[in-house]
Amino acid sequence: MMIFKSMEILVHDKEIKLMQKDKLHWIAMAKCSTDARKILAKNKRNEDLLVRELDILLLWFQIPKSECSDKKKKLVKWMELKDKKHLFCSLDRYR
């Protein structure tokens, strides 16, 4: 009987760790979304965006930093994303 309880506790602990990891991911993405909207609200020209701002905007669309190594590549990727029609409706008001 004790063996089954200990196995159940291990499974339960794994589930809790997975849920905690998911929660941290969603909290980070919510913060990223807020930061991205603040950047867009500044109405900067694409060329005037800082590397840090481009990182946040690309992360908002779940593009990893490793995919775009320098500012030029990040800027090109951001402009491609911004021009696509399937973006969030709220992005349209920032154009």
Region 33-59 average pLDDT: 91
pTM, to two decimals: 0.68
pLDDT at residue 91 is higher than 60? no
Instruction: Indicate the average pLDDT of the chain.
Output: 82
For the segment 67-84, what is each residue's pLDDT rounded down to a tens digit? 888 899 999 999 888 877
pLDDT at residue 87, as a whole number: 58
CA nearest neighbour of 74 among 39, 41, 42: 39
- Domain boundary assignment for the chain: 2-92
CB of 51 closer than 8 Å to CB of 74: yes
